[in-house]
Chains A and B, each alone.
Chain A
Amino acid sequence: MIVKNIVAIFDRELRSYFVSPIAYVVIALFLVIAGFFFYVMLNSFLNYSFRATMQAQYYRMAPPKVNVNMLVIRGMIHNFGLILLFIVPAITMRLFAEEKKSGTSELILTSPITTTQIILGKFFAGMTLLLSMIAPTFLYILIMIIWGNPEILPIFSGYLGLILIGGSFIAVGLFISSLTENQIIAYVGGLVVLLLFWVIGWAGGAGSKIGSVLSYLSLINHLDDFAKGVIDIKHIVYYLSFITFGLFLTYRSIESMKWRG
């Protein structure tokens, strides 16, 4: 029963993404930017390894082992994370704002389903769109596997990190969307909060105690280990608690809407 309700919301939400242009625009935008970054990085990697090989030949040494994981994939994962930061609010902006504006919130909130089920349905719909957005980038990986020899595990961990950070972005966006009925405000608000969570990571450089706390809170900093190929349970816990907290705030926001009227 509970799962069925979540699936009902999820299903409608996902379909509505794909009947409107939004899903296609968002996916296309992401792939264009991601593809550009991939091209630039791969190109500089090729230049670098070409020069290194030439140099080795000149000094009659064995050709150096350049690491595609280190030089391409790590940066790629990082870049994808940053692109997501700008694009995810566009995925989440309509999730609650539109329901509030069109009055359909009166339908779902007076139906025999709980607020939690609604939130989860919407969250997973956002997640699915996110996954279908980053899935085509496996093509880049495929290219590298065919003509190179990257290690598989760091790729896997990198994508796991991307999914987790994307989920955190969606949780934030969902919360901001539940605060307003204007989609533009939901987008800008979501972006501002996410940028804030990125920027506070820079405070870590100061070396103070507060600085290290702030840098721990930064969403992007936790992605680094995943990009390197390290799956650390503390980062997973961080992202999962971040998502839970975001969804909890959304829940409170929907409930308090009832009291504010």
Chain B
Amino acid sequence: MIEVQNLTRVFGDKKAVDNISFNVEKGEILGFLGPNAAGKTTTMRILTCYLPATSGTAKVAGYDVFDDSIEVKKRIGYLPENPPLYKEMVVENYLHFVAKIKGIEPRERKKKVRNVLERCAIMNVKDRIIGKLSKGYRQRVGLAQALIHNPDVLILDEPTSSLDPKQIIEVRELIKNLSGEHTIILSTHILPEVSMTCERVIIINEGKLVAVDTPENLTKKLRSSDKLMLDIEGPFDEVKSKLKEIPGVTRVSLDKFFKEGRGKYHIETKPDVDLRKTLAQTVINNNWGLYELRSEGMSLEEIFLKLTTKE
């Protein structure tokens, strides 16, 4: 659906986007992850034909963003970081205006506006002036604006920034419901958001592409060891030494005591060996009590920091 090749954009002598290439399949949700000023917004602006690229090509649904910008614009819904709202307008009139400039036929406009008011749950504020709405509602009106012409591609620039936790969850749910029929690119610097909503992640830093993969694969690829956590009831020293004897275990540490001999053991193992079964067997054989056994993958935060900070 979206093909980006060797995209570069220069502002003065600063490379905002530096030779980025990626593809997005139809119906996919792609997360754009990066620290502030990494080039996320610039890339999105190029895809929405707001800015031209200095070099490289980008295609949306087979149309070049530079040569066929009108065709691309018809197929894209864009929510910039600050929702583009006319503050003096009433919500419904505003959406009507957007429907007009998005090229929706006059007789379909009313229906589409209704539809989008319902989908974004802003039916109750449709007669209010946009300038008087709360931030959460404005964000939703912004989303409604991007959705109104039912675009193939949705580009959302930090859609959950400056919302309260409840609104964040609502917007995330909304985005998740949109996948399937729409191809979605969303940028964020909030990491859990990516693992929660996106099927694939692009990490970008200082204009350069650092990694493209699913959140799980990224986690898998980047960890040098697997971590497991066990909550076991039993004599500490005996447990520790017995666990250490299991082949594959590289380190055991007792981290937290509970009363009655219970403790939290952190175990590091060689990568790509799953020892959970053997560990459970060991516990049972020794007649200890097992309260919890869980693998502790490397969190996205750790990956992110690892990728975006220079050693």
Contact = CB atoms under 8 A, between A and B. Distances in A.
A4 B102 CA distance: 11
Nearest to B80: A106
A205 interface: no
Interface of A is mostly: helix
A87 B214 CA distance: 59
9 contacts: A5-B100, A12-B86, A15-B93, A106-B48, A110-B73, A112-B73, A112-B101, A258-B50, A261-B11
Interface of A: 1, 4-5, 8-9, 11-12, 15-16, 19-20, 102-114, 258-259, 261
Contacts of A111: 73, 98, 101-102
Identify which of B70, B74, B84 gathers the most chain A CB atoms within 10 Å of its CB: B84
Contacts of A102: 82, 84-87
Contacts of A258: 50-52
B97 interface: yes
Contacts of B78: 106-107, 110
Interface residues of B, number: 33
Nearest to A5: B101
B164 interface: no
B73 A106 contact: no
Contacts of A108: 101
Given A8-B97, A106-B48, A258-B50, 8 more contacts: A9-B101, A12-B89, A107-B78, A107-B80, A111-B73, A112-B73, A112-B101, A261-B9
Contacts of B82: 102-103
A113 B50 CA distance: 12
Contacts of A112: 70-71, 73-74, 101-103
B76 interface: yes
B85 A104 contact: yes
A76 B273 CA distance: 93
Nearest to A1: B103
A12 to B, nearest CB: 5
Given A103-B80, A106-B78, A16 B89 contact: yes
A106 to B, nearest CB: 5
Given A106-B50, A107-B145, A114 B97 contact: no
Nearest to A7: B100
B286 to A, nearest CB: 64
Interface string B228-272: 000000000000000000000000000000000000000000000
A19 B97 CA distance: 15
Contacts of A19: 88-89
Contacts of B4: none
Nearest to A255: B52
Interface string B46-60: 001111100000000
A110 B49 contact: yes
Interface string B1-22: 0000000010100001000000
A136 B101 CA distance: 33
Contacts of B102: 111-112
Contacts of A1: 103
Contacts of B71: 112
Contacts of B49: 109-110
Contacts of B42: 261
Contacts of B9: 261
A104 B84 CA distance: 4
Contacts of B85: 102, 104
